[in-house]
Amino acid sequence: MTAPIETTGAEAEAQPEAVLVGVKKSQIEGRSLGQIAWMRFKRDKAAMAGGIVVALLILMAILSRPIQWLFDLDPNKLNQNLVDPTLRAPYGGWGGMSWDHPLGVDPGFGRDLLARIIEGSWVSLVVAVGATLLSVTIGVIMGVVAGYYGGWVDSLVSRMMDTFLAFPLLLFAISLSASVQDGFWGITGLPLRIGVLIFVIGFFNWPYMGRIVRAQTLSLREREFVEASRSLGARGPFIIFRELLPNLVAPILVYSTLLIPTNILFEAALSFLGVGIAPPQASWGGMLTEAADQYEVDLQFMFVPGLAIFITVLAFNLLGDGLRDALDPRSK
């Protein structure tokens, strides 16, 4: 080929840039998808706020015991002198708010609410995050296997998911929590309650994650780069770990973030029903239960744990929405 203006190969790409460099002041720098996502996320103020609140909550949960020790807060210390024995309501207005007890005390026993909220935060988060991890793990494995291998494997897993979703979860949770006795598997007390909650919430919620991952895998499997990988001679597991999973990270991350608040609410609901965390251990759901009995004498008591749950759920949801927008390559 002896064309007069033939330009292929390296030349063809290099030359325009040579002209452009003289004209453009600055070259646009290459960025990875992660950097682009972070740039987008930073611009989303609501998501940033949600992220900061979530980060503070996690910090509070991790440091709950040191904080209690540092500020001399004891969630289980009874202050009967602060409660009117006849009315069973705290002395003073606003639920007994004072410098010593910034959020007031609970009506029955005069326990410090701030201390109980801080103590309850780690319980709520451990249960919610633990359950989320459990359902995400099961869901991702099942979803990827069903989506990638298809055929009878897919049919089996899909029917399994249908079965799980049809399960009367709440009734099961109540009966399971009631029937598991102390000393089960050698675990007792609080760790057992938390373990049971994580199992009940996480194990029965995986099909939601499974369905999302399966659908994503099905569409990814048909994408040309997966086919390209197969045509290059890659084996099944390689394709799953190298081609599919990195592309599933975004939806998994987003859905997990949105699953955590649901699980916080679920934990609260179970504790509210009296089958979750057993008193006197502080938990947000448990505090709501106690408050429900007392709302006529002290509305504040219900307001505090309710607000804590509300802020947490809202923050996680804002963070999840923001992540979804930032990670979605289509929303450019």
Partner 1 sequence: MPLLSVDDLTVTFRGGHGRPPTRAVDGVSFQVDAGRVTGLVGESGCGKSVTALALMGLLPGKGVDRGGSAVLDVGAGSEFVASGPVDLLGLGPGALRDLRGSRIAMIFQDPLSSLNPVVPIGVQVTEILERHRGLRGAPARKEAADLLDRVGIPDPTRRLKEYPHQLSGGMRQRALIAMAVACAPRLLIADEPTTALDVTIQAQILELLKELVDQEGTALLMITHDLGVVAGLCEQVNVLYAGRVVESAGRRELFAHPTHPYAHGLLGSIPRLDAPRGDPLHPIRGSINDRIAWQDGCAFAPRCDFYDEECLEGPPALTEPRRPDHRVRCVHPVLDTTAEEVTA
Partner 2 sequence: MSLLELRDVKVHFPVRAGIVTNRTVGHVYAVDGVSLSVEAGRTYGLVGESGCGKTTLGRAVLRLVDVTAGEVVLDGTDLATLPAEEMRRFRRRLQMVFQDPLGSLNPRQNIESILAEGMTAHGIGTSNEDRHRRILAILDKVGLPANALSRYPHEFSGGQRQRIGIARALVLEPDVLICDEPVSALDVSIQAQVVNLLEELQDSMGLTYVVIAHDLAVVRHISDVVGVMYLGSLVEEAPSDVLYAAPRHPYTRALMSAVPIPDPDVEDSRERILLTGDLPSPANPPAGCRFHTRCPWKRETRCATERPEMRELADGHRVACHFAEEIAQESPGEITDGNRENLAKSPRA
- To partner 1, the closest distance from the beta carbon of 11 in angstroms equals 7
Which one of residues 11, 166, 181, 296 is an interface residue with partner 2 (CB under 8 A)?
A: 11
Q: Which is nearer to partner 2, 12 or 190 (CB)?
A: 12
Q: Which is nearer to partner 1, 154 or 325 (CB)?
A: 325
| 55 to 94: interface string for partner 2, x by CB under 8 A | ----------------------------------------
- Residue 281 and residue 123 in contact, taking contact as beta carbons nearer than 8 Å: yes
**Candidates 5-13, 182-190, 194-202, 298-306 — which segment interacts with partner 2 by CB under 8 A?**
5-13
- Residue 114 and residue 101 in contact, taking contact as beta carbons nearer than 8 Å: yes
- Residue 125 and residue 61 in contact, taking contact as beta carbons nearer than 8 Å: yes
- To partner 1, the closest distance from the beta carbon of 330 in angstroms equals 16
Which one of residues 19, 70, 166, 232 is an interface residue with partner 1 (CB under 8 A)?
A: 19
Dist. CA 267–CA 286, nearest whole Å: 9
| Residue 233 contacts which entry, partner 1, partner 2, none (Cβ below 5-8 A, type-dependent) | partner 2
Q: How far apart are the first and last CA of the chain?
A: 42
Query: Counting beta carbons within 10 angstroms of the beta carbon of residue 229, is it exposed (0 to 12), middle (13 to 18) or buried (19 or more)?
Result: middle
| 166 to 205: interface string for partner 2, x by CB under 8 A | ----------------------------------------
| 219 to 258: interface string for partner 2, x by CB under 8 A | ----xxx-xxxxxxxxx--x---xx--xx-x---------
Q: Measured between alpha carbons, how far is residue 201 from residues 128, 194, 309 in Å?
A: 8, 11, 17
Detail the DSSP E strand segments found in 132-265. Answer: none
Q: Which of 267, 260, 259, 262 minimizes the C-alpha distance to 284?
A: 267
- Residue 96 and residue 104 in contact, taking contact as beta carbons nearer than 8 Å: yes
| Residues between 119 and 138 with contacts to partner 1, criterion CB under 8 A | none
Helix, strand or coil for residue 89?
A: strand
| Residue 9 contacts which entry, partner 2, partner 1, none (Cβ below 5-8 A, type-dependent) | partner 2
Q: Is 153 in the site for partner 2 (CB under 8 A)?
A: no
The first and second tokens of residue 281, run together, are: 């251990």
| Helices (H), ranges, 7-150 | 9-23, 33-43, 45-62, 64-70, 113-149
| 12 to 51: interface string for partner 2, x by CB under 8 A | xxx---------------xxxx------------------
- Residue 283 and residue 124 in contact, taking contact as beta carbons nearer than 8 Å: yes
Dist. CA 113–CA 97, nearest whole Å: 9
Residues in contact with partner 2 by CB under 8 A are 1, 6, 8-14, 30-33, 155, 223-225, 227-235, 238, 242-243, 246-247, 249, 329
Residues in contact with partner 1 by CB under 8 A are 1-8, 11-13, 15-17, 19-20, 22-24, 40, 43
